[in-house]
Amino acid sequence: MKTVIITGGSSEIGEKIAEEFSKRKYNIILTYFQNLEKTMAIAEKLKQDYQINAYAIKCDLHIEDDIEKLVKTIKQYGYHIDVLINNAAVCYDSLYTDKTKDKFMDTMEVNVVGTFLISKIVAEEMWQQQNGVIINIASTNGMRQYYPMTIDYDASKAAVVSLTHNLALAYSPYIRVNAVSPGFIGTKKEIEGLDEEYLKSEMDKIFLRRLGTPEEVAKTVYYLASEDASYINNTVIEVDGGTR
């Protein structure tokens, strides 16, 4: 039985990714930093619904010791790590003029430095196995869409795209590294507080004229982790319905 780590496991996208892997009987490791109860509830539901092993483990992605403890715990369970999904992220929407250095740096610490650290530590295990898959959750915000209200988040996701390409080269030929860049996904967090006029204007930019779903992102992530994608590497797949 294979094992997947999903950081940010309590988010809507993280939960749906976990479901996709649970359907294939993976051992599921969900990391969290603050949302203990929600993450544990998701893990329990996965165990009951799919008859698999699922765990909620606290891990501060800022801290190398925490990540090393995470890997040690997984090994104590008797598992080796086959797939790492870097899904954890923060986003502080605010007027550009209200942006602060502290919030900007916190965004970069979680979204970029955290992704780098856990990838580096987990890849050491994968390298010994001479096999593994890392998938980073980026965003079209970091590629060609520009929102000054999320300038820090957008910059962090551009950095995640760059990390993806560099890690794919660093860990060749044994570890495949790809990224999924969601566009406008209709999660509760994403659309909370947005009025209908704004949502319509954003959907008018999407060729399919609708928002994406967390399930659609999750299915793409699982595909990239599967043997069906065994020759896909160093690639960023946009899940955005076609956006201008």
User: Long-range contacts of range 167-174, CB-CB < 8 Å, 24 or more positions apart?
Assistant: 167/119, 167/123, 167/134, 168/233, 168/234, 169/234, 171/123, 171/126, 171/127, 171/132, 171/134, 172/233, 174/126, 174/127, 174/129, 174/130, 174/131, 174/132
Contact 43, 49 (CB under 8 A): no
Alpha carbon 145 to its chain's center = 19
Q: Rounded CA gap, 212 and 16, in Å? A: 13
Q: Rounded CA gap, 96 and 6, in Å? A: 31
Assess whether the previous peptide bond of 182 is cis (omega < 30° from 0).
no
Question: What residue type is 51 in one-letter code?
Answer: Q
Residue 55 is among the residues annotated as catalytic for this protein = no
Beta bridge partners of 86: 136
Name the phi and psi angles at 50, rounded to 5. Answer: -120, 0
Among 153, 171, 198, 223, which one carries the catalytic annotation?
153
Contact 82, 72 (CB under 8 A): no
Which residues are identified as catalytic? 153
